[in-house]
């Protein structure tokens, strides 16, 4: 029996072997100089049956880090560690992109060069709590507003990280412009109150995102570049009063780039995150809204199960669907979804930090 998730799909330069994507998932296990541990080779190798693996958010610089033990892609050691992962995934016949990350204000001075304050478009503290290096929590600090010269340095850091990702053997890169991190902070008025060319009108708030994209285009072909957005995200950021104006502007411009894929997180309509039950209504999805003007491949994420995934693909709103928590717990998730088998239950206590427990020890389905 064949189903729609099982069949291959062309995404930019690649033919994915199925439409089940492993979402980027921060696991905070890179204890030595923020290079991926040996165990990560096994972890990603176990999940290579996905049509595409998007490796976890990876800081492009020390300044871009905001959590304990997250991996970087700015030193030789970090590149070498990732090379083992991409080799393993390729050996298993998989495809793997790297998610390029700068957290902006969602950091803490303990992570920053010279223990300086985290940087952001504007000196506005994020709501919520930072994770300190010892995994304790503290209110976010009021960040320091970036100068234009510093913004240009960050663009350069993205360029170098894109080069490094290539050296590490990735098949492509996904620019992380979601989940309240630096690029989203620039897009949204609730975190960007600049009065220069990076603030105010939509084209100004989107300027950094397109500068980053244009820079990465000097390193990678557009068919190997992707971008992730979360228009309705309210974690680590206040709700944006009119997300449609900025995101429609961005997505319309992105359409001309013909990227490998646009990755949309739909956390508003599907998974409100407060335990409320919501009816799955495809008409309310942002991927439906953009389907009129965005025709390149779209990957969607945020509370999807097999039925919802099939629905959005059948309706033509998405090319493939990314799964987060279920991929943490279920190394053979693609196989299970295709064969109508339940994923393993996930254990939130082992999402972040630690070793093999809750990382490489989730079972495969036994026939």
In terms of CB distance, is 194 or 250 closer to ligand FMN?
250
Among 325, 329, 354, 360, binds ligand FMN (CB under 6 A): 325
State which residue, 131 or 198, has the beta carbon closest to ligand FMN: 131
Pick the binder of ligand FMN from 111, 170, 261, 323 (CB under 6 A).
Answer: 323
Question: Any contact of residue 329 with ligand FMN (CB under 6 A)?
Answer: no
Give the residue, chosen from 29, 43, 46, 56, that forms a contact with ligand FMN under the rule CB under 6 A.
56
Which range touches ligand FMN (CB under 6 A), out of 76-84, 142-150, 174-182, 203-211?
Answer: 174-182
Tell which one of 16, 20, 21, 23 touches ligand FMN (CB under 6 A).
23
Measured from the CB atom, the residue of 194 and 313 that comes closer to ligand FMN is 313
Residue 327 beta carbon to ligand FMN: minimum distance, rounded to whole angstroms: 7
DSSP, collapsed to helix, strand or coil, labels residue 10 as strand
Which of 122-130, 147-155, 176-184, 208-216 is the region at the interface with ligand FMN (rule: CB under 6 A)?
A: 176-184
* 131 contacts ligand FMN (rule: CB under 6 A): no
Which of 165, 140, 207 is closest to 54 using CA atoms?
Answer: 165
The catalytically annotated residue of 44, 181, 327, 359 is 181
- Tokens 């360029």 found at: 159
* Interhelix angle 148-167/207-216, nearest 10 degrees: 30
Tokens, residue 21? 């994507």
The verdict on 48 binding ligand FMN (CB under 6 A) reads: no
Number of residues that bind ligand FMN (CB under 6 A): 22
Planar angle of CA 135, 140, 143, nearest 5 degrees: 130
Residue written as token pair 């409100």: 272
Query: Shortest gap between Cβ of 297 and ligand FMN (angstroms)?
Result: 17
Which residue among 99, 112, 122, 191 contacts ligand FMN (CB under 6 A)? Answer: 99
Rg of the Cα trace of the chain?
19
Only segment of 19-27, 125-133, 151-159, 164-172 that touches ligand FMN (CB under 6 A): 19-27
Residue 106 or 194 having the CB closest to ligand FMN? 106
- 37 binding ligand FMN? (CB under 6 A): no
Q: Please provide the size of the chain in residues.
A: 367
Q: Which residues contact 122 (CB under 8 A, 6 or more apart)?
A: 145, 191, 192, 193, 194, 199
**323 phi, psi to nearest 5 deg:** -120, 135
Verify binding: residue 303, ligand FMN, rule CB under 6 A.
Answer: yes
10 Å CB burial of residue 113 (0-12, 13-18, 19+) is: exposed
CA distance 278 to 271: 7
Token pair 């389907």: residue: 291
Strands (E), 123-281: 129-131, 137-139, 144-145, 172-177, 225-229, 261-265
Among 3, 7, 26, 62, binds ligand FMN (CB under 6 A): 26
Dihedral, 152, 154, 155, 161 alpha carbons, nearest 10: 150
Site for ligand FMN contains 85 (CB under 6 A): no
Q: Which residue in the shown chain puts its C-beta closest to ligand FMN?
A: 324
Per-residue exposure over 332-362, b if at least 16 CB sit within 10 Å of its own CB, e if not? bbbbbbbeeeebbebeeebbbbeeeebbbeb
With H, G, I as helix, E, B as strand and everything else as coil, classify residue 284: helix
* Per CB under 6 A, 98 contacts ligand FMN: no
231 binds ligand FMN per the rule CB under 6 A? no
Q: Give, as ranges, the residues between 179 and 208 that touch ligand FMN (CB under 6 A).
A: 179
For residues 267 to 286, the per-residue mask of contacts with ligand FMN, x marking binding by CB under 6 A and - elsewhere, is ----x---------------
Name the segment binding ligand FMN (CB under 6 A); options: 24-32, 109-117, 219-227, 312-320.
24-32
Distance, CA of 144 to CA of 265 (rounded, Å): 28
Is 261 a known active-site residue?
no
Residue ranges that bind ligand FMN, judged by CB under 6 A: 23-26, 56-57, 99, 176, 178-179, 228, 265, 271, 301-304, 323-326, 351
Active site residues: 181
């Amino acid at each position: 029996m064949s189903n729609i998730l099982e069949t291959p799909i062309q995404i930019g330069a690649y033919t994915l072997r199925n439409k089940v994507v492993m979402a980027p998932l921060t696991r905070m296990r890179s204890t030595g100089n923020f290079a991926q541990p040996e165990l990560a080779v096994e972890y990603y190798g176990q999940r290579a049956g996905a049509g595409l693996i998007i490796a976890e958010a990876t800081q492009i610089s020390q300044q871009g880090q905001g959590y304990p033990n997250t991996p970087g892609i700015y030193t030789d050691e970090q590149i070498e560690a990732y090379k083992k992962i991409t080799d393993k995934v390729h050996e298993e016949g998989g495809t793997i992109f790297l998610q390029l990350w700068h957290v902006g204000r969602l950091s803490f001075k303990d992570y920053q060069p010279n223990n300086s304050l985290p940087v952001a478009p504007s000196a506005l503290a994020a709501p919520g709590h930072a994770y300190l290096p010892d995994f304790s929590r503290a209110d976010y600090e009021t960040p320091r507003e970036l100068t234009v010269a510093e913004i240009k340095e960050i663009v350069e850091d993205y360029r170098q990280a894109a080069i490094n990702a290539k050296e590490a053997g990735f098949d492509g890169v996904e620019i992380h412009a979601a989940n309240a991190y630096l690029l989203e902070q620039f897009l949204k008025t609730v975190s960007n109150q600049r009065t220069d060319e990076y603030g105010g009108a939509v084209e100004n708030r989107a300027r950094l995102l397109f500068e980053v994209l244009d820079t990465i285009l000097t390193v990678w072909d557009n068919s190997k570049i992707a971008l992730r957005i979360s228009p309705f995200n309210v974690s680590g950021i206040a709700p944006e009063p009119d997300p449609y104006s900025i995101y429609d502007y961005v997505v319309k411009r992105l359409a001309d780039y013909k990227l490998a894929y646009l990755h949309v997180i739909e956390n508003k309509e599907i998974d409100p995150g407060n335990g409320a039950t919501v009816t799955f209504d495809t008409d309310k999805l942002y991927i439906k809204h953009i389907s009129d003007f965005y025709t390149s491949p779209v990957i969607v994420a945020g509370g999807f199960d097999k039925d919802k995934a099939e629905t959005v693909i059948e309706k033509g709103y998405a090319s493939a669907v990314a799964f987060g928590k279920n991929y943490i717990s279920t190394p053979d998730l693609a196989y299970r979804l295709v064969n109508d088998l339940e994923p393993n239950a996930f254990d939130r206590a082992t999402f972040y930090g630690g070793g093999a427990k809750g990382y490489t020890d989730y079972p495969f389905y036994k026939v």
